[in-house]
Amino acid sequence: MIFKKTWLSVADNTNVRWIQIFHLYKGFHRKSSMIGFFVKGSARVVEPPRLEYKGFKFKFNKKGDICRGIIIRAKYVRRKNDGSSISFNNNNTILLKKKQDIKSKYIYGPATSLIKRKKFITLFSTIL
CA–CA distance, 101 with 124 (Å, rounded to integer): 14
Q: Which residue segment(s) compose the domain that 56 sits in?
A: 7-121
Residue 80 lies in a domain: yes
Residue 118 pLDDT more than 70?
A: no
Q: Quick check: is 94 in a domain?
A: yes
Does any domain span residue 2? no
pLDDT of residue 69: 92
Q: What is the pTM of this model?
A: 0.82
Is position 47 within any domain? yes
Q: Evaluate whether residue 40 is within a structural domain.
A: yes
* DSSP per-residue letters across 2-69: B-TT-EEEE-BSSSEEEEEEEEESS-TT---B-TT-EEEEEEEEEPPPPGGGTTS------TT-EEEE
26-30, 35-39, 65-69, 83-87, range with the lowest pLDDT? 26-30
Question: What is the tally of structural domains in the chain?
Answer: 1
Domain annotation covers residue 126: no
- What digits encode the pLDDT tens for the residues 40-75? 999 999 988 766 666 665 667 888 899 999 998 999
